Structure 1
Amino acid sequence: MALLTPLGSLPYPQPSDAANIPQHMQSLAEAVDGRTVLRFADQASLDAKIAAPVGGMLAFLTTPKQFVYHNGSVWSVLAPPPAHGANTGSGSTTSATYVEALTGSTATTVSFTAPPSGTVLLTVGARISSSAATACYASVNVKNGTTTVLAAADTRAAIATGTSALSATTQFQVTGLVANTTYTATLAYKSAVTTSTATFTNRYITVTSM
C-alpha cells in the first residue's frame, strides 16, 4: 500500500509493494494532475472536463485570458482587476431626485462580476458645479439586470456646493452581492433644488473586489 506525503498527500510506494513502476508513476501523476495549473479554452470547457472540482484547483482560461480558482463552491477569477468606467463629457440636470441621464451627455456605467466575498468597494467621482450656491450630488445605482440592488443616496454621493467647479469623490462598500454574478454600476445625479442647474464632467466609477 502506498504511503502519502505529509503536506500534499501525494502517493509513494513502500519497499514491500510490488515493483510496478508504471502503476506507481500513474498514481503519482494522477495525484499531481489536479494540483497543477490546468489549461482550458474557456469556462465551458473547464466545466465539461471537471465535473466535480475541489477547492484549491487553479486553471487558466484562454478566453478571456484569466486565471480562475475553485473556492470549494464556485469557480472565481483569481485577483480580478478593478472595473472602471469614465466619461469626460459634460452634462447637466435640474432634477432634485436622482437620474442617470444628463442633458448633453451619455450615461456612465460599468459592469463587474461579484467576487466570492460578495463585497466590492465603489469609488465615485466627478468635477461638479452648480448655477447657484446650492449642492450637487453624484451617486450610483447598482443593478442586477433591471433589478436595483442598491439605489443612489446622499450618504453615498460625491457632493459639491457652489458655482465654482470642484472635484469631488467618495468611496463605500457594497456587501451581500451574489458571487460570480454580473452587476452594473451606473452614476446617478441630482441638484439640491430644481431651480439650480447641476453640471458634471470628468465622471468615473471604479469597482474593486474585496
Structure 2
Amino acid sequence: MSLLTPLGGLPYPQPADAANIPLHLQSLAEAVDGRTVLRFADAASRDAKVVAPVAGMLAWLSTPKQFTYYTGTAWAQLAPGPVHKANTTTGTTTSTAYVETLTGSTGDPTAVTFVAPPSGAVLITLGARANSSAATACYASASVKNGTTTVLAAADSRASIATGTSAISASTQFQVTGLTVNTAYTATLAYKSAATTSTATFTNRFVTVTSV
C-alpha cells in the first residue's frame, strides 16, 4: 500500500509493494496533476475538464488571459485589480432624476464592467468636475447592473455633490455587498440637477471598481 507525503499528500510505494513502476509513476503523476497550474482556452473548457475541483486549484485561462483559483465553492479571479473608466468630455443635464447620458457629451453611458470577487463585495469610487448655472447642486452617482437588471440604483446618498456656479472636483466612495460571486456586473455613472431651472455641467468624470 502506497504511503502519502506529509505536506502534499503525494503517493509513494513501500518496499513491500509490488514492483510495478508504471503504476507507481501513474499514481504520482495523477496526484501531481491537480496541484500544477492548469491551462485552458477559457472558463467553459476548464469547467468541462475539471468536473470535481478542490479548494486551492489554480487554472490559467487563455481568454481572457487570467489566473483563476477554486475557493471551495466557485472559481474566482486570482488577485483581481481595480477596473477604471474615465470620460473627459463635457455634458449637461437639467433632469432632476438620474440620467446616464448627458447632453453634448460623447462616450456615454460611462460604465465599467467587473466580476464579483469571492467576497461578493466591491468598493466603487466615482467623481466629476461639476458646476451649476445657479446656486444649486449637481449630483453624480452610479448604478450597478447585472445585464439589464438594476441591482443598485443611483442615489443621492451615494453621490458626489458640487454646489454653485464655480466648477468643483468632487468624489465619493461606497461599498456594494451581496453580489453573486464570479458574475459580471456593470457600474454606470448617472447624473442629475437639483432643479429643472438650473443646468448641471459635468466634465472629467470617472468610475473605479475595486474588489474588497
TM bracket (short chain): over 0.9
Equivalent runs, 1:61-210 vs 2, <5 Å: 61-105=61-105, 106-210=108-212
Identify the residue that residue 57 of structure 2 maps to in structure 1.
57
Equivalent runs, 1:10-25 vs 2, <5 Å: 10-25=10-25
Q: Distance in 1 between matches of 2:24 and 2:210?
A: 46
Shift of 1:60: 0.7
Query: Residues 141-185 of structure 1, C-alpha deviation per residue, up to 9 Å, x if partnerless?
Result: 111122111111111111111111111111110001111111111
Q: TM-score, normalised by structure 1?
A: 0.96
2:60 maps to a residue whose letter is F
Query: Residues 49-77 of structure 1, C-alpha deviation per residue, up to 9 Å, x if partnerless?
Result: 11111111101111211111111122111
Q: Distance in 2 between matches of 1:41 and 1:96?
A: 47
Query: Residues 173-204 of structure 1, C-alpha deviation per residue, up to 9 Å, x if partnerless?
Result: 00011111111111111111111111000101
Shift of 1:20: 2.2
Q: Give every structure 1 segment of 4 or more consecutive aligned residues whose post-TM-superposition deviation is greater than 3 Å.
A: none
1:69 maps to a residue whose letter is Y
Q: Which runs of 5+ in 2 are unaligned?
A: none
Shift of 1:81: 2.1
What percent identity do the matched residue pairs reach?
A: 76
Shift of 1:34: 0.3
Q: Please, what is the CA RMSD of the aligned residues?
A: 1.2
Q: Distance in 2 between matches of 1:48 and 1:15?
A: 39
Aligned length: 210
User: Is 1:39 the equivalent of 2:47?
Assistant: no
Q: Which runs of 5+ in 1 are unaligned?
A: none
